[in-house]
Structure 1
Amino acid sequence: MALSMMLEQAGMAPEYVHTQATVTLDKDGDGFAVTGSHLDVLAKIPGGDPQKFEDVAAQAKAGCLVLKLLSCKITMAAELET
């Protein structure tokens, strides 16, 4: 949601943003802990600027409150479809 809003604010309103999260769980004592999260993002923005898209996606990832709650390694692959 943050990426979609930030893209609109940057003048690149997306037709859609699809995101898939893959979470890694590892044994931690008697339970489990989230040790990683990878986001695969596909956004369709007709006429979108690839560099601007990458910059905004990186900013959205860095500022995401939900991901900060996980306190684990977070990676992202963001792809622009024009």
Structure 2
Amino acid sequence: MNKELILQNLIKNTYAESKRLSIAPETLCRFSGVGTDFVYNMKKGCLPSIEKITALAEYCDTSVDDLIGFDSKKGVRDETCHS
């Protein structure tokens, strides 16, 4: 798996979930228990633990695969080309 692509997808999808839930990304991260520096750390290149990704996915009622942009048949999807 490509770390940079996973990080890009996680950041993009964290923002998308916060928009869907009508809350700020920092608020989403705080409410889900991953910490308010979750997105900031990813932007610095730090891949979060699976526990944090799982906590965020559970709070958003989505899957880890969706957050990281994973397709079981194709691997990690490059979602940066989609709006």
Answer whether TM exceeds 0.5 for this pair: no
The structure with the largest strand share of the pair is: 1
The structure with the largest helix share of the pair is: 2
TM-score for the superposition, normalised by structure 2? 0.32
Higher Rg: 1
TM-score for the superposition, normalised by structure 1? 0.32
